[in-house]
Structures are given as C-alpha cells and as structure tokens.
Structure 1
Amino acid sequence: MPTSIQGAQNEEIFLFDNDCFTEELQSSTSPLAVYKNTLQEGTRVLNDAFDSGRDVVELVHKRAEFIDQLLIHAWQSMISCEDLALVAVGGYGRGELHPASDIDLMILEKSRSNKTTNQQIQQFLTFLWDIGLEVGQSVRTVKDCIAEGRADITVATNIMEARLLVGDTVLFDSMRKMTGPNKIWPTRKFFKAKLQEQVERHKKYANTEHSLEPNIKESPGGLRDIQMIGWVAKRHFAVKSLHDLVKHDFLTEEEYLRLKAGQTFLWRIRYALHNLTGRHDDRLLFDRQRHIAEIFGFHAEDNSGVEQFMKFYYRMVRELNRLNEMLLQHFQEEIIYATRREKIKPINKRFQIRNDFIEVCHDQVFKWYPFALLEIFLLIQQTPKIKGIRASTIRLIREYYYLIDDEFRNDIRNKSLFMEIIRQPRYVGHELRRMHRYGILSRYLPAFGQIEGQMQFDLFHVYSVDEHILFVIQNMRHFGLPEYANTYPLCQKILKTLPKQELLYLAGLFHDIAKGRKGDHAKLGVKDAVDFCKLHGLSSYDAELVGWMVGNHLILSKTAQREDINDPDVINKFAVQMGDREHLNYLYLLTVADVNGTNPELWNAWKDSLFSQLYNETTRALRRGLENPFNKEDRIKKTKHAALALVNKRTKSKFDVGQHWASLGEDYFIRYSPDEIAWHTNAIAENSKQQYPLIKVRQQATRGGTEIFVYMENQDNIFATTTRVLDQLGLTIVDARVISSTHGYTLDTYIVLDKSGEALKEKKFREDIVIKLDDALANLEQHFKIVSRPRSRKQKVFPIQTRVLFSQDEVNQRTIMEVVASDRPGFLSQVGVALAGCNVRLHGAKIATYGSRVEDIFFITDKQDQPITDPDKFESLTNFIIETLS
C-alpha cells in the first residue's frame, strides 16, 4: 500500500507525499486513523533522524512543514466557507516546531460566522486534538485582531509572526496591514513594552542564567531572549531573519554566527527534552541532565560528564545574554534616542556619557589604555546618572579583554583600580556581576574563571559556584540598604561597626573559589585569598583576616545548626574560635550572606533566630573575657529566677513548682529559655484533671517557629509517632528536645515550620495538630506504624549512602549519634523507631537538612540515662537504622 511517509534518506528527510496521502484517505474507512498514523510515523522519522545526529534546525523546520500539510488537508476537507483563513501564529508562525511545542492557530474570519461554519470550525479543531496535536487556537475577525492586539502586547507579538496556511489571502493581508506598527504598537511603544516584559521575566528567574536547573526557554540567555531580538528587529526594520541585522550594521557576522550557534545549541537541548519527557517541558532538571549531556557526547560514570556539559551550557547562555543586552542597547539607541537631541558629557579623555550611557571617546581607547577595561566599571559606580554601557563599547570590551594578562594583573594602577571598585559605597555587587558578564572578572581573577559554570551536585545550592559568589556579595550590599532593614536587622547593626567593608567583600569573593579542586575548598581558598590581598597592598593583618574568614566560613553555620547552642560549653568553645568581636562580626555577616546566596528559600525566621542566638551568646562570652567563661550553675540559677517571675500566680498557689522542676533535672534549665519553662509549667499546672497526653501549640515561638509541647507518661515510640504525625501534616521539624522526669514522664518540644518555612498562621491548623497528636499518642499501640511515602523527584537524583557516627559528650554524659543520609519523608520517625527498638533513650535532636542530604544529630543514652559505650550496641544500632531507613 502506498505510504505518505518516507524515511530519512541520505540528503533529505522526506515526510509527506500529497498523492500517497490522498490515496490512503480515499481507500480508508477511517480518515482519523490515517491522519493519526501519518502524524505518529512522521514524528518517529524525525525523532530517529534526531537520534542519528541530523541538524536540529532542519528538523524543527521540517516538523512545521509536515504539520502544515496535515492541517491544510484537514481544513480543505472540513471547511466549506471561503471567507476564512487558517493562520499559524507564534513559534509555529515562524515555521519552528519542536516535538511537543503547542501548535498555535488563529482562524481569521471576515465577519461573524454562521452556525454551520461555526460547527465546521469546532469539528476541525476537535479533529486536530483527536489525532494527537496540542493546539492553541483563537477565532478572530480583523477588528478583533486590532482590538485584542492593541490591548495585549502578547497577542500583538503573536499576530506579528502570523503565516497564512490556507484560506482567504486578501483577508490575511488586510489583517497584517491593520496590525502593523503604523496602526497599533508603534516601534517605540512596542520596544518599551517588550523590554519591560523581559525585565519581569528575568526577575522571575533571579536575573541569572546560572540556575542549577535552568529553564532553557525563559531563563536569562534562553531562547526567549533570542526571540526578543527577532521581535524588535521585525517590528522596527521589517526584517525576515536575524542575519538581516548584519546588513543593518547591528550585528557583525561573527556575532550573528554566535547567536545562531547558541540558538542551535538550545534547540537541540529542547528537542531532546521534549522527546525525553513526552511533553512540552523546557526545564533542564537534575534527573534529565545526564541524558542530555550524553547526547552532546559528555559521557562519564560519575558526575564529571554532566559537569562539563553544564559548564558549556552556562558559557553559551552567558554569551547569549550578553548579545541580548548589547543588541537591545543598540535598539534603544536607534528607537528611543534617535529623535532626541544627543547629549554628550565628557568624563575624561577616555570616556564620555552619551544620552545617559557611558562610551569610549574613540575605538582605540582600550588598546592604548588597557587599564580603562577596569576604569569604566569604577566610573559607573561613581556616576549615578549612568544607566549602562553603549553597545559599541560593550563590543570593544569583548574585543580587547584579552589584554588582561599577568603583566596587566601586576600593574599597580590596575590593582589600585580593582580595589577602588571593591571599596566603593555603591554598586559593588552590581559592577562585579557586569564585569563577569563581559568576561573581565574571570580574566583579572583566573581562579574565578576556573569556577565559572561550576556545578554543585546537591539540592542545597540552586546556583553555579560563580553565580553563588556574586549573590553572596550582593547580599552583603543589601545589609546596608534601608529597604532590607526588616529582613536583616542584626546584620545592618553589625555592618555599621565594620572598619573596612571591603574585607568582607573580598572574603565573599574568595570563600568558595577553590570549589572543584581536590581537597577542602575552605582551606585551599585561604592561600588564594591571602596572596591576592597582599598583592593588592593590604596589610598583613587585613590579609590574614580575609584568609581567616575564607578558611572558617562554614563553622558559624555548622555550630548554630548542629550543636546545642544553649550549652554554655558550646558557646565558650565557639568564642575561643572567634577570638574577638571583630572576627565574630565579619564572620556573622559572611555566613548570613552565604546562606542566603546558596538558596534564598533556606533563610527563615528559625534560622535567623539560631544564628542570632549564637551571635548574641558569643558576644556576651567575649565581653566577659575568654579567661572567664560561662558557669553552668550561674546560668541555671538565673534561668530559674527569670522563669519563676513569668509563672502566673495561680500556678504558684496551686502547684508545687519547685518539686516539678526538681524532677526535670538541671539540664532542663540549660536547654530551655525562661519563657519556655514558664509556658510548660503553667500548662502542666492547669491540667488539673491530669488528662494525658497534654499537648499545647504556640503560634509563634521565641525561636522563630511554631512550638509544640507534649507531656505524658514515658513510653516507647513517642518520638517516632509524634514526628510521623507532624510529617504527614506537611510540617518541617527543625528542632526536637526531650526531657525525662524522675516521675516517669517525658516533656518533649518540637519547633515546626510550614512548607514556606514560616510559623503556622492558621488557628484551625494548630487545633488540628493537637487533635491528631492526641489521638495518635493516646493509643500508641494501635496507631504506631511506619509510614513510607515516595521520595520526590529531586531526592531520587541524589542518593546518599547512610552513615551513622558516634561520639561522646563527656560534659553532659550523653552519646552523640550523627546520621547522614538522603532526605526522605518520615525520616525522623524511622530513626525514632530504630532508637526505641534498640532500647535507647532520646534526649534531643538537632535537625539539619542540606538540600537532599540530612545530617541530624541525636543526643542519646541508655535507659538508665548513661552514655552508650558498648561497641556491639553501636553496631546493632547502626544496622537497625540503616535497615529501617532502607
């Protein structure tokens, strides 16, 4: 039987034969089956061609041509009215279709269609869906196109790319004429609207092309940025292709080739993503990156293949982002400023300001004065009215940045200029980012170039290493801005005390610069930082301070999140590590900036309270003097006195507070604040009927989350059951403390956050927690069970081998158990089961999750409250935990 599909032949992919297709339709009793089979077979041929390495540009256009033929056939067989036109719009209008791209159609009608024609249109669209096409459609008159296009820039843009498939040519030409730039959206207005659209889109993606899971279409430097150039060029110059911009002197031939190479690269990724997922999804997610990397020839058993591929990706989209910026600047000069009288203000013999944008005075500036490659960024910082760099000067920066070599780096003038940039009171982060975008930062600081596009294989970081560093410095700048006063109140206060803020920025610049090298990146980065500082004229003290921050940039975060910072011994030890308040102040600001630059979603009120508590306690310890450390007895005495003052009068008159407190031991008064102790005491005293379990929830704990208090007779699996219930409610447990009384009761507190990392706001939700916990804990035997839920997509990508480590807390007579494993739903509950199964008593937990990795600390003893020292017990506990978690 004749077929309408031909396989990929040597030189040409032949997809559709009109005569064969018509013959198949005539001989078949089911036209729908013929269309469906033809579509499926054509898609298979194209996909096979892609897998065999055929040019993706050819395939994208071939698919559009193939779909054209199917639609034209269907239209001609189903639509009888001649006053209609079938029009391709959007990407399909450009003749570009990826495997799962929407097929955007506009049915253009001369006037409102009658009932019969409307029925035919509906049957036609339904038929397209039935054969397996994802269609986006609109039905409009020319008048509709004018009105809707005028009201919505997106509609105007779609119509601008309209392409007639079949139907009334005169009607189509009329629509094109009536929606042109001389009728709606004149070039100037169109450009401003599209530019604002891009600004908002980039903002949605944090203004970075270096997300670890980028959207290859919408992120900065993505396909949408290339389309943006095409839209403006088409509107202003009426060009048909990007290459026409070369004729208009807007692009050099070399820049055009880079733009096309970038588009082809992204098209190839997109084609592969659509094939891989079977749907329209343009996100380059972790679990897809290895597959895509292998298509591009990056093969490796470990992550190195993905790492190399993503480095290539980041460099490509950075170049596309730069070309987008340069061309839009060109358009701005041509469209916005063309009718204005030029205002030129000289700065010096090298630079001048033209219409608020800085430019070189002549094309040889960078060749004759290489230091100007740094000077231009300093001038932008020092001149608030400068809005950016003119396109021609951006091009020259890229042409001459090769002049930055060892001789350039060792020139005293250039070293001074760089330090001036770092010392400026404004736009430090902004200009470092611009320097990076144009390739200057990586040339001046080769170690920074080595981490450009460096992946970080976890769910903790959301940016590549170089982009993370730039965000850290940006966060440091935020500490000094009034609009961030409520977000970082303590940071703003500390920043004002720093004698040299540039030391903080240098530490931010170098803190992760050694990532990707073998060894401890913090220690390796110290030498880079100290050498750089000394080379740039800093004193030995300042250089060593920057090196100290780089080498110790992780310890404040780890201490706050992994150790019991209510313990005076922990505070004293940390104070010794700091040495003085100056080192503490610098490190605190670096740490907060680092955490926020790692993943903005990780910073919340709970983490803020932890870091602030550690900072304030350490400040007090340093003020007392390292030779005069905190005394536990004094701390307990002061806590009791303060707590008693907060206990209400009714409790004091009807309840033996002293006896109750004595049953809880001294540890209770170290691990809890006076406010928490008073809350517990009042709740227990008011439980006159002694109904247990006693469960209370506070909306906002003093420690930055919602606090849950459980008091009941001690039994196995209380911790496991409580954490299971809280996990099922979608809550994140960030802290757990357990106190066992001599009366056989357990006093447990949990601090929880909602999915957005905040305390629970809804009263009904808090009441629901009490009900569910009461039901589960009152009937432990009936309700106890391990609930296993599927891991998320991201959690599956980063499997981590479970490790259990033990150490001893000699001072507090407890064993410290650290569990390192992949994060998963119900993790704490499963550990609780293992502890109960091994007859181990839990006294508290420090819960730290780093993306896909948990590093939780559990303070445990045996049932007699003695530390565990038996190696056999360690082995059985380790095996039980690993087995339970598996």
Structure 2
Amino acid sequence: MGAEIDLADEEAASIFSASRIRARLAQGGYSIAAFRETLSWGRERLYSLFHEGMPADSLVHARAHLVDEVLCAAWQKFLPENTQGLTLVAVGGYGRGELLPHSDIDILLLHQGTALEQHRRGLEQMTAFGWDIGLEVGQSVRSVEECVSEAAKDITVITNLLEARLLTGDADLFRQMQQALTPDKVWPVQAFFEAKKAEQAARHRKYDDTGYKLEPNVKESPGGLRDIHTIGWVTKRLFGTQTLGELREKGLLSKQECDELFAGQDFLWRVRFSLHMLTGRHEDRLLFDHQIKVAELFGYEDDDKNKAVEQFMQLYYRTIKSLSCLNDLLLQLFEESIVQPPQGGEITPINARFQIRNGYLEARSEEVFSKSPWALLEVFLLLQQHGKIAGIRAQTLRLILRDSRLMDDTVRQSVQARSLFVEMFREGNGLTRNLRRMNRYGVLGRYLPPFGNIVGLMQYDLFHTLTVDEHILYVVRNARRFAMQRFRTELPFCSEVMDRLAKPELLYLGAFWHDMAKGRGGDHSDIGAAEAEQFCLDHGLSHPDAALVRWLVKNHLLMSLTAQKQDLSDPKVIAEFARTVGDRQHLDYLYLLTCADIRGTNPALWNAWRDSLLKELYNLTVRALDRGVDNPLRSEERIGEVQAKAMALLAARHFNDEASRAAWKRFDRDYFLRHSPEEIAWHLPAILAAKEEDLPLVLVDQIGGLGTAVFIYTRDRDHLFGLSTGVLARLGLTILDARLHTTDDGFVLDSYVVMESDNTPISNPMRFEEIRAALRKVLSDPEVSTIDVNRRTPQRLKHFNTPTHVHFSQDTARGRTILELVTADQPGLLSLIGRVFQKRGILLDAAKIGTIGERAEDVFYITDRMHRPITSDSALEDLREVLVRTLSRSETT
C-alpha cells in the first residue's frame, strides 16, 4: 500500500480501517461476491454516516480509502508476483483522496521495460474483475516518458498527474515520474498559472460567468468545487503544497479565510454527496428534480415567506459567492507572486488613500478602511472613474473583506458614503461591473441591508432564471447598454429613447430598486417604492427625482402586463394606460425599464414579438398623450386610418379599390383594429382569389422578423380553434397570439403568431409549407373533431405544482367576457381549452397567450353562441369547474 489517506475522524477511521476491510474480503475468499458486498456495505455505511451528520471531508476520504483497499486487494489477487517496473497510481480527484459514492475513479498504470508484457494476462484479468465487482475505473497506461510527453502537450494531463498518489507497486518508478514532471522540466510555474487561469475563465464563460443559474453545476459553475481545485493545483505547482491547509501555514490565508474555504468546500461536498445518494449515479447538477429533496436532507422547511428549497438555494448561492471571493483573492495573490514583486513597480498616486501600482488599485495603508470606512465605497467609484485600472490588488482586496464589517449605520448615514454611492450611478461608465464587484466582495449588501437580504435569494420557478440580486444587476446592465454606443444596434429604438433622458441615473436607480423588496411578504412593488424614494432623498436627490424613481419601482410591471395581457386594439386600454403614465417623460423611463427587466428575467422570454408589443404600446401611448388623455382616439378613426394605409399598399400593387371595399363590408370592426395595414394587404388578395375548392385557405409567412404569421380563411365549423392550435402544437410550435373573427356570412378570419419552441422565428420555406399542409389536411376533414398532440410534457415542467386559477371580468364596451387563466404549461394546452369552449357553446373572439416559465398565463375574450357576453354566475362557475377539472387531469396523464 502506498500513500495512506488521513482519516482524521475517529469514527470513520474505525469503520473503514484497513484491517476491517481486508477481513471482510478475506472472509469471502476474495471472491467477486466478497468484493461486491464490501463495496455495497461501504456505500450504505457512508449513507448512514451522512444522515448522522458526519463531516463531508471524512465521508469523501473514507470512500477513497475503501476503494484504495479494494484495488490493492485486487492487485494482490491477480499480480501476486514481483511487480518491479509496474505501478498502480491514483490520479485526479481520486489522487487527492476525495471520492463521492459515484465519482470517477481514475487510475494510471505506470510501466517500465518489459513489465507490462510480463503481467499482461494478470492486468487484463484485474480490469475485467473491476467491471465484474461494479467498480467503474477510468484507466490510462503510460511509461514515464509518455507521461512527460502527454503532460507537455495538455494542461489537463499535467493537472491530473499533479494529484498522483501511489497505491501499490514499484515506488521507485512512481518517484521517477514525479521527478520528471517538476516545473523546471515541464510546465514552468508561470506558464502553468496562465493556462489554469485561462482554463477557469473559459469554464466560467460556459456558464455565462455566473454560478447563480436556476440549475447550477456544483462542481463546474463559478464558485463551485472546481474553483477550489484550481487554487489547489496552482499552489501545488507554485509552492509545493499538498493540502489547502498549508496555505495558512505559509501565511497565504488568514484563519478566517481558511475557515471560509473549508466550510464552503464541506458544504459543496455535502450537496454533491446528496446528489449522488439521491440519484444513484454520478450527478453534479442541482436540477429541479433534486433541489427539493436536497433541501429536505439539509433540514429545511417551508415558512411563511420562503419555501424550504428557496432557503436552501440561498445558502448555496451565498456559499459560492464567498468561494468566488476567495478564488479572486488567491489567484490575484499568486499572480503578484509569479508575475510581479509585491513591492516596487510603477506607482501612480490617486489621492491620500489610494494609488495605482502596476495597473492595479492599491490602498496606501492597512488602516485606510479602519480610519475611513466610507472608503470601502470609494474603491469602486475610483475603478469607474479610472477605467484602465485592471482590478484590485490582493492585499487591498483582503482589507476590503476584513473591514467590510465596519460598514455600520454611522457610515451608511455619512455624507461621504452617500455622496460616493450615488455618484456611481451618475458616473454611469463601469457601473454594472463595479456593482457586481461590490456584491461579490460583500460591500453592497453591507451598505444597503435591503440588498443584503436578497443576495442569493431565488424563486423556485422557471420564469426567474437568476437569483434576485443577480437579476437586479442584469437589469442595471441592460439599462446601461441602452446608453452605450457599441450596443446601439442591439435595440436601436431603446437607444433612441435613451438619448432623450435628461437624467439616465434615475433609470439606473429604478432598475436597481425595482425588485429589492422581494422575499419579505406583501407587494414588493409597493414596499420597494417607498424605500427607493427614501433612499433617493437620503442621497441628496430632489423630491421630483425621488418621486420619479418611486413611481418607476411601483409601476415596473405595468407596461409588460398591459402589453402582454390586454387588448391593445381597444382605445380604452390605451387611454387608461396613458392616464396612469401621465406624460412622455414617465413613459420613456418606464418603457426602458420594462425592456431591461424582461431581458434580465429570462433570456428566453425576450423575443422580437414581445419587443414589437412594447413598441406598439409605446407608440400608441405617445399618440394618446399628444392628443390628450381626455381626448382618446375613437375606434372609427383608427379603423379609417388602417383601411386608408391598407388601400395605399394594395393600390401600389395595382389592386382594385372597389373589390377591396366590397370585401371589407363582410369583416367586423375588430378585424381592422387588430390587424396592421400590412397584414390586411397580405390577406385580401388571397381571400378574393380563393375559390371554394381552395378552402381552407392557409397563409404562412414572416411578419417583419417578429414571428411567423399563420392566417386561416375558411367556412366556420365546430372545433376550429382546438383543431388549429392542436395542429400547431403537434408541429412543436409556440403560439404567441391569436386573433379570431367570423364574417356575417359564416367565414372565419383566424390569425396566429407562432415561433419555434426555442423562441426563434421560422425562416425555412419548407417549414412554412409543412405548417400550411398540416392545417389544410386537418381542417378540410369534417370527420376530425379532436387532435392528439402526442408530445410529452418536458421533464422539468413536472417538478412544479401550478394550480389552475380562472378569473372572469366583463368588457362591457365591446360586449364580451374576459377569461384570465393561470395553469401549468403543457403541450396542446390551447387545444384542450378550445375543446372545452366548443362543448360549452362558447365562441372565442381573441386570445393573449403568455407562457411564463412553467406557468401558462393566458387571456381569452369570449361570448356565447349569440355573440353576447356571458354574465350568468352559474354558467361562469360551471365553466371554471370544467376548466380546472380538465386541465388538472391533463397534467397527470
């Protein structure tokens, strides 16, 4: 046996002692069954010890020790003779002596001379035996020379070999390999460090440079265990250390920092152990499938404000934030040790407290923060004002981490601190980057306790893809991009509106405060609005500016809800929204905040269609404000304008005016309110040219890059909405909008806006034809009354319990009932709803379709068969019960 794993825990050392493991194997005659039973016994004992609360480091070391004994016993079984020139080596994580129940077991068979050929049969038997006993081993076979050659070419190979640990065999050969891989022979310290830094940066980019995703990878995401491994690899190469504990002995880490590092590592190990235990396989991703169960294993319970899973995930996110801090600190320390001397170099004074040394910001004394705690904020403003500063020097970062506790109420209320913080928003440049730094290093939450409360706070749904603090900073980032020249092509209209803002900092402050009050119970918009206004007044903003920020926070959801849930063709909707907004200034700020918020909530949520809805609402509101909110545009005026523009487009194509007007007499008023002149000019020629045998007429085309329009013109028939939406769902399409009209002579003019399931517009003409052919086939067959979508509900949707809620209201002005539905999203949902409507004799006038993560939030405008609103309480209650029963049943099938 080679290097022993230190089982510091007495109980683990007793249970997994070498003598006990060998006795179990011997008792079974070293048979396959004995080995299998020993591994199974070991795994079950580890599970029991986990539940009893044994520290994670003891668990992972005990598992590695168990595998050591099993492999060495197998070696002895199949290679009992002299094995000079042959060595069994543990590498990678196993080499570190860290194994979870289903971790990869990586070994290196090191050979020299003819030893490999002499023992080939025994080695082959041992490999097969490993599979027979259920030990999945990843094995490489190399000579010392091959190890050096492969290591020189590949940073991952040298990294794996740095972890090498002798298990059994020729110890001299193992030492030869170690001596051949020293920094003076392969991978010098600086080259190794630069490569590992680049490797970490690439890995972080793979996870969008954030560990705060809804389903993080405990090992690979930023702040995860791999970041700790990176520290370990660099210190081994740089200082020759074998354990992280030696960092403190060498004075590289303080006791507090070392405690944080080990506590974070232990927590992440326990999370990974839980995942392996729950899944029975190697699993490092905290998927929705597992989060609730892991939270239960950690002892969390739901409370009045947050679910158990949200409390657990907040601890997870706060842990990786702390580990990211330490990773920054140590890598910066290493860089300074390797690349440049700690002292000396070019110095540029900034003020009495700070200077720039070799391109990095540095405190001029160790007492700078203890004497002037408000300078904790000054650091980040200076980084904004001096954009070429590469970062913060390690020693200064250590002072920030040490002294951030000095940020108390006295400092928060000081003129210096308040002036510095609000100046960051006025400065603009570098705002997001430095707010993120402040958050990462704990200063932001210390200065603003409301922000500290939401650090790491997540919402257990598919809609909010980031923690609340990360979301807020993403929204600030999005707002900043509207003002930056290099991003003007991203959302040109937003950049145009941004140019008109007199005080962009008010938009940034609104973005910063809009979700600050989440997780406290009550309406976060109301709570946050009051706090935001007080913050602004405390920080020297005028009363009008503070009132504007308050209004933005209070109403930050208003524009998205209006655009996505209300009928923008209704002049009353526009007039009411314009009355709430009040003036162009408030509209500009709210429009930009809304765009920034949606884009920062869920990347999949923002698309060209939502962009167009918000832009349409903005332009309609501008017009309403210009006319005066007490002089709203009448429906007749808007219809006249739409028809005139459509007529001009048709005339340009040499289309007959009289034919157009004659056809339009068959169409209801809402058709012209809900369709653009371009759409009408697209529909009409096809309608007039269609003969009876051409029906159903189906048109499919792009609509200005906003989505794909599907238009159906045919004789009215039962089940039309359910059949149409069923076909579209079966094709894997997402329906964004539905506008349904019936002519006086019994024809339908139904329009849908669709996208592919990945939220991209359809661009392939063959796909257009597939949609058209599928709809014509089903709608032309009078025998077809239902569509089976035959698409499985995605696995991740099954982890959420979204009860079905139905709310009714009356649109008296337009003689229809509004049905608002919230339910679990599922394939073919609209087809199911259409089937219910048809059986109940309900006509659908229009629908606003919204999928919010795992939730469908749809609005339907309905009437009875006589085109009258449904006002009977009993009829509405009956409809509610049928919808709840139907949709709840469909979730479980």
Same topology, TM > 0.5:
yes
SS at match of 2:803: coil
Match of 1:489 among 488, 492, 502: 492
Deviates most, 762-771 or 815-824? 762-771
CA offset at residue 787 of structure 1? 4.3
Q: In structure 1, how many angstroms separate the alpha carbons of the residues matched to 2:785 and 2:197?
A: 58
Q: In structure 2, how many angstroms separate the alpha carbons of the residues matched to 1:114 and 1:233?
A: 34
Q: In structure 1, how many angstroms separate the alpha carbons of the residues matched to 2:714 and 2:145?
A: 74
SS at match of 1:602: coil
Match of 2:374 among 371, 376, 394: 371
Q: Contact 2:87–2:171 (CA<8 Å) still a contact in 1?
A: yes
CA offset at residue 118 of structure 1? 5.6
| Pair 1:800-2:799 in alignment | no
SS at match of 1:172: helix
Name 1:42's counterpart in structure 2: 42
Name 2:891's counterpart in structure 1: none
| Pair 1:218-2:212 in alignment | no
| Pair 1:546-2:536 in alignment | no
Name 1:71's counterpart in structure 2: 71
Which one-letter code corresponds to 2:762 in the other structure? L
Q: In structure 2, how many angstroms separate the alpha carbons of the residues matched to 1:764 and 1:341?
A: 67
Match of 1:747 among 742, 746, 749: 749
Q: Contact 2:86–2:116 (CA<8 Å) still a contact in 1?
A: no
SS at match of 2:398: helix
CA offset at residue 684 of structure 1? 2.2
Name 1:278's counterpart in structure 2: 280
Name 1:195's counterpart in structure 2: 197
Deviates most, 779-788 or 409-418? 779-788
Q: In structure 2, how many angstroms separate the alpha carbons of the residues matched to 1:311 and 1:774?
A: 51
CA offset at residue 123 of structure 1? 4.6
Name 2:351's counterpart in structure 1: 348
CA-to-aligned-CA distance 1:802-854 (integer Å, 9 cap, x gap): 11111111222221111111212221111111111100011111011221222
Name 1:309's counterpart in structure 2: 312
Which one-letter code corresponds to 1:78 in the other structure? F
CA-to-aligned-CA distance 1:289-326 (integer Å, 9 cap, x gap): 23222322223377533333223222222111111111
Which one-letter code corresponds to 2:73 in the other structure? H
Name 1:3's counterpart in structure 2: none
Which one-letter code corresponds to 2:834 in the other structure? G
Match of 1:520 among 496, 503, 523: 523
CA offset at residue 644 of structure 1? 2.4
SS at match of 1:236: helix
Which one-letter code corresponds to 2:859 in the other structure? I
Deviates most, 378-387 or 123-132? 123-132
Name 2:7's counterpart in structure 1: none
SS at match of 1:664: coil
Change (3 A) 1:690 1:622: farther
CA offset at residue 569 of structure 1? 2.6
Q: Contact 1:734–1:752 (CA<8 Å) still a contact in 2?
A: yes
Name 1:92's counterpart in structure 2: 94
Q: In structure 2, how many angstroms separate the alpha carbons of the residues matched to 1:801 and 1:788?
A: 23
SS at match of 1:200: helix
SS at match of 2:429: coil
CA offset at residue 178 of structure 1? 2.2
Q: In structure 2, how many angstroms separate the alpha carbons of the residues matched to 1:22 and 1:213?
A: 41
Q: Contact 1:469–1:512 (CA<8 Å) still a contact in 2?
A: yes
Name 1:732's counterpart in structure 2: 734
Q: Contact 2:86–2:115 (CA<8 Å) still a contact in 1?
A: no
Change (3 A) 1:82 1:844: farther
Q: Contact 1:112–1:141 (CA<8 Å) still a contact in 2?
A: no
Which one-letter code corresponds to 2:717 in the other structure? Q
Q: Contact 1:655–1:685 (CA<8 Å) still a contact in 2?
A: no
CA offset at residue 130 of structure 1? 3.2
| Pair 1:629-2:645 in alignment | no
Match of 1:585 among 571, 578, 588: 588
CA-to-aligned-CA distance 1:680-709 (integer Å, 9 cap, x gap): 1122233345322222211x2137111111
Change (3 A) 1:261 1:18: closer
Q: In structure 2, how many angstroms separate the alpha carbons of the residues matched to 1:65 and 1:23?
A: 17
SS at match of 2:693: coil
Q: Contact 2:727–2:787 (CA<8 Å) still a contact in 1?
A: no
Change (3 A) 1:636 1:112: farther
Q: Contact 1:98–1:270 (CA<8 Å) still a contact in 2?
A: yes
CA offset at residue 71 of structure 1? 1.6
Q: Contact 1:529–1:546 (CA<8 Å) still a contact in 2?
A: yes
Deviates most, 649-658 or 13-22? 649-658
Q: In structure 2, how many angstroms separate the alpha carbons of the residues matched to 1:565 and 1:251?
A: 60
Name 1:33's counterpart in structure 2: 33
Q: In structure 2, how many angstroms separate the alpha carbons of the residues matched to 1:611 and 1:177?
A: 66
Q: In structure 1, how many angstroms separate the alpha carbons of the residues matched to 2:110 and 2:403?
A: 52
| Pair 1:323-2:326 in alignment | yes
CA offset at residue 425 of structure 1? 3.2
Q: Give me the identity figure in percent.
A: 47
Q: In structure 2, how many angstroms separate the alpha carbons of the residues matched to 1:10 and 1:358?
A: 47
Change (3 A) 1:115 1:14: closer
Which one-letter code corresponds to 2:367 in the other structure? Q
Q: In structure 2, how many angstroms separate the alpha carbons of the residues matched to 1:801 and 1:633?
A: 41
Q: In structure 1, how many angstroms separate the alpha carbons of the residues matched to 2:449 and 2:263?
A: 26
Name 1:463's counterpart in structure 2: 466
CA offset at residue 731 of structure 1? 1.3
CA-to-aligned-CA distance 1:299-357 (integer Å, 9 cap, x gap): 33775333332232222221111111111110110012139961122111211111111
Q: In structure 2, how many angstroms separate the alpha carbons of the residues matched to 1:486 and 1:597?
A: 18
Q: In structure 1, how many angstroms separate the alpha carbons of the residues matched to 2:759 and 2:332?
A: 40
Match of 2:502 among 496, 499, 504: 499
Q: In structure 2, how many angstroms separate the alpha carbons of the residues matched to 1:190 and 1:340?
A: 23
1:668-687 equivalent positions in 2, closer than 5 A = 668-687=671-690
SS at match of 1:782: coil
| Pair 1:843-2:845 in alignment | yes
SS at match of 1:35: helix
Q: Contact 2:101–2:273 (CA<8 Å) still a contact in 1?
A: yes
SS at match of 1:325: helix
Which one-letter code corresponds to 2:887 in the other structure? L
Q: Contact 2:719–2:785 (CA<8 Å) still a contact in 1?
A: no
Which one-letter code corresponds to 1:575 in the other structure? A
CA offset at residue 14 of structure 1? 2.8
CA offset at residue 512 of structure 1? 0.9
Name 1:292's counterpart in structure 2: 294
Q: In structure 1, how many angstroms separate the alpha carbons of the residues matched to 2:432 and 2:688?
A: 55
Name 2:831's counterpart in structure 1: 829
SS at match of 1:805: strand
Which one-letter code corresponds to 1:158 in the other structure? N
Name 2:229's counterpart in structure 1: 227
Deviates most, 609-618 or 730-739? 609-618
Q: How well do the aligned residues superpose, as a CA RMSD in angstroms?
A: 2.3
SS at match of 1:283: coil
Match of 1:597 among 596, 600, 607: 600
| Pair 1:559-2:557 in alignment | no
Q: Contact 1:786–1:830 (CA<8 Å) still a contact in 2?
A: no
SS at match of 2:300: coil
CA offset at residue 249 of structure 1? 1.6
Q: In structure 2, how many angstroms separate the alpha carbons of the residues matched to 1:723 and 1:120?
A: 65
| Pair 1:763-2:765 in alignment | yes
SS at match of 2:522: coil
SS at match of 2:875: helix
Name 1:386's counterpart in structure 2: 389
Deviates most, 322-331 or 448-457? 448-457
Which one-letter code corresponds to 1:601 in the other structure? A
Deviates most, 531-540 or 872-881? 872-881
Q: In structure 2, how many angstroms separate the alpha carbons of the residues matched to 1:605 and 1:652?
A: 31
Gaps of 5+ in 1: 1-7
SS at match of 1:234: helix
Q: In structure 1, how many angstroms separate the alpha carbons of the residues matched to 2:86 and 2:742?
A: 81
Which one-letter code corresponds to 2:234 in the other structure? V
Which one-letter code corresponds to 2:537 in the other structure? K
CA offset at residue 209 of structure 1? 3.1
Q: In structure 2, how many angstroms separate the alpha carbons of the residues matched to 1:651 and 1:126?
A: 80
Deviates most, 845-854 or 667-676? 845-854
CA-to-aligned-CA distance 1:448-496 (integer Å, 9 cap, x gap): 1222222213211011212211111111112223342232211111111
Q: In structure 1, how many angstroms separate the alpha carbons of the residues matched to 2:311 and 2:786?
A: 48
Name 2:143's counterpart in structure 1: 141
